[in-house]
Chains A and B, each alone.
Chain A
Amino acid sequence: MPPSTPRSASPAPVLLKLAIIALVLLIFASAFGYAGGWLGSRGLTGSAMVDALQANADPHPGFRRNHAKGICVSGYFEGNGDGARLSSAEFFTATRAQVVGRLALAGGDPYVADDSVPVRSLALQLRLPDGQEWRTGMNDIPGFPVSTPQAFQELTEASHPDPQTGKPRPDAMKAFQARYPEAAAFGERLKASPRSSSFANDTYNGINAFVFVAADHRRHRVRWSMEPELPFAPRTAAAAEPAARDALFDDLLTRLDQGPLHWHLIVTVAAAGDASDRAAEPWPADRERIDVGRLTLTGASSEPQGSCRDIVYDPLVLPSGIEASDDPLLSARSSAYAVSYRRRAGEPPGDSAINDRKAGSAP
Chain B
Amino acid sequence: MKLHARFRPLARLLHWSMAVLIIAMLFIGAGMIGGAPERYSALLRVHKSIGITILLLAAIRLVYRLLHPAPALPADLPRLQRAAAFASQVLLYALMFALPMVGWAMLSAEGYPILIYGGLQLPPLMHADAMWYAHLRSLHSLLGYLLFFTVLLHLGAALFHGLIRRDGVLSSMASLRRP
A interface residues (Cβ-Cβ under 8 A, vs B):
1, 4, 6-7, 9, 14, 17-18, 20-21, 24-25, 28-29, 31-32, 35-38, 42-47, 49, 131-133, 149, 309-312, 314, 316-317, 320, 324, 328, 330-332, 334-336, 341-342, 344-346
A243 to chain B, nearest CB (A): 34
Question: Contacts A25-B152, A334-B44 known; A45 to B26 CB distance under 8 Å?
Answer: no
- Determine the residue in chain A with the shortest Cβ distance to B156: A25
B29 to chain A, nearest CB (A): 8
B interface residues (Cβ-Cβ under 8 A, vs A):
1-2, 4, 26-27, 30-42, 44, 110-113, 119, 121, 128-131, 133-135, 137-138, 148, 152, 155-156, 159-160, 163-168, 171
Whether the pair A1, B171 counts as a contact (CB closer than 8 A) is yes
Whether the pair A312, B164 counts as a contact (CB closer than 8 A) is no
Complex CA gap A1/B3 in Å reads: 11
B42, B110, B148, B156: the one contacting A21 at CB < 8 Å is B156
Question: Contacts A31-B27, A36-B30 known; A332 to B37 CB distance under 8 Å?
Answer: yes
A14, A46, A311, A317: the one contacting B33 at CB < 8 Å is A46
B35, B130, B152, B166: the one contacting A45 at CB < 8 Å is B35
- Determine the residue in chain B with the shortest Cβ distance to A22: B156
Which residues of the other chain, A, contact B4 by a CB distance below 8 angstroms? 1
A124 to chain B, nearest CB (A): 14
B26, B34, B128: the one contacting A310 at CB < 8 Å is B128
Whether the pair A331, B163 counts as a contact (CB closer than 8 A) is no
* Inter-chain pairs besides A36-B30, A335-B32, 18 sampled, C-beta below 8 Å: A4-B168, A6-B166, A18-B164, A20-B163, A21-B159, A38-B34, A45-B34, A45-B36, A46-B37, A149-B37, A314-B112, A316-B41, A331-B40, A331-B42, A332-B37, A345-B131, A345-B134, A345-B137
Whether the pair B33, A17 counts as a contact (CB closer than 8 A) is no
Which residues of the other chain, A, contact B121 by a CB distance below 8 angstroms? 131-132
B36, B41, B133, B165: the one contacting A7 at CB < 8 Å is B165
Whether the pair A17, B40 counts as a contact (CB closer than 8 A) is no
B33, B130, B148, B163: the one contacting A32 at CB < 8 Å is B148
A29, A31, A312, A335: the one contacting B37 at CB < 8 Å is A335
A7 to chain B, nearest CB (A): 7
Whether the pair A37, B34 counts as a contact (CB closer than 8 A) is yes
Whether the pair B36, A42 counts as a contact (CB closer than 8 A) is yes
- Determine the residue in chain A with the shortest Cβ distance to B151: A28
- Determine the residue in chain B with the shortest Cβ distance to A18: B164
Whether the pair A335, B41 counts as a contact (CB closer than 8 A) is yes
Which residues of the other chain, A, contact B138 by a CB distance below 8 angstroms? 346
Which residues of the other chain, A, contact B36 by a CB distance below 8 angstroms? 42-45, 149
Whether the pair A335, B40 counts as a contact (CB closer than 8 A) is yes
Question: Contacts A17-B163, A45-B33, A331-B42 known; A25 to B155 CB distance under 8 Å?
Answer: yes
Complex CA gap A335/B37 in Å reads: 6
- Determine the residue in chain A with the shortest Cβ distance to B124: A131
A25 to chain B, nearest CB (A): 5
